[in-house]
Amino acid sequence: MMVTWHEEMVIKANIEVIWNLFEPENLQRVMPQVVEHKVIEMKDGIVGSTYQQKYQEGKRVETYIVEDLAHEDMPERKHNTSGFVLAKAFKIETSITLEKMDENSTRFIYYGSNQGINFLGKTLMKLGGSKNNDKVVEGFMKRVESEALKDLK
């Protein structure tokens, strides 16, 4: 079983302000449950770079390796796709695309997939369904917007 999402919103902020939120030192602002993000290997052009992340849910902390699968950093368009396996049960791929509309507005596109890769993962995917995933996606997008707007002040 796989859950996919594709959401878009316009944020009233400059593309660079929003892109800056995805820099390693700012990541926790938009992903508060990522309690550690450290570079393992940084490749030229970003693609193939790997990071160790620690994600905390309640008292449990999961450690996993994230790999950049696609990266683009142009003045009018910014994009990053990364993938990782969580808890040996889920294969997750997420993409963030920013498109400059004008100096003060940016289209934020967030899409991805979450796939159960073993019996436990598939079972949990069926139980969790897409409603829980929709809440997570919506919460993330709203956090990116509110953090970007904070940086405008």
**30-56 pLDDT, tens digit each:** 999 999 999 999 999 999 999 999 999
Token pair belonging to 90: 């889920």
Tens-place pLDDT, residues 60-117: 999 999 999 999 999 999 999 999 999 899 999 999 999 999 999 999 999 999 999 9
The confidence score (pLDDT) of residue 87 equals: 87
Prediction pTM value? 0.92
CA angle 7, 138, 23 (to 5 degrees): 85
DSSP characters over 116-139: E-SHHHHHHHHHHHHHHHHHHHHH
Q: CA-CA distance, 51 to 54, in Å (whole number)? A: 10
Q: Is the pLDDT of residue 153 over 80?
A: no
Q: Is the pLDDT of residue 125 over 90?
A: no
The confidence score (pLDDT) of residue 118 equals: 94
Q: CA-CA distance, 46 to 78, in Å (whole number)? A: 13
pLDDT class of 133 with cuts at 50, 70, 90: confident
The confidence score (pLDDT) of residue 19 equals: 97
Q: Which residues pair with 93 in a beta bridge?
A: 83, 113
b/e map 72-100, b = 16+ CB within 10 Å = eeeeeebbbbbbbbbeebbbbbbbbbbbb
Q: What percent of the chain has pLDDT over 70?
A: 99
Q: Is the pLDDT of residue 130 over 80?
A: no
Q: Is the pLDDT of residue 124 over 90?
A: no
The confidence score (pLDDT) of residue 127 equals: 86
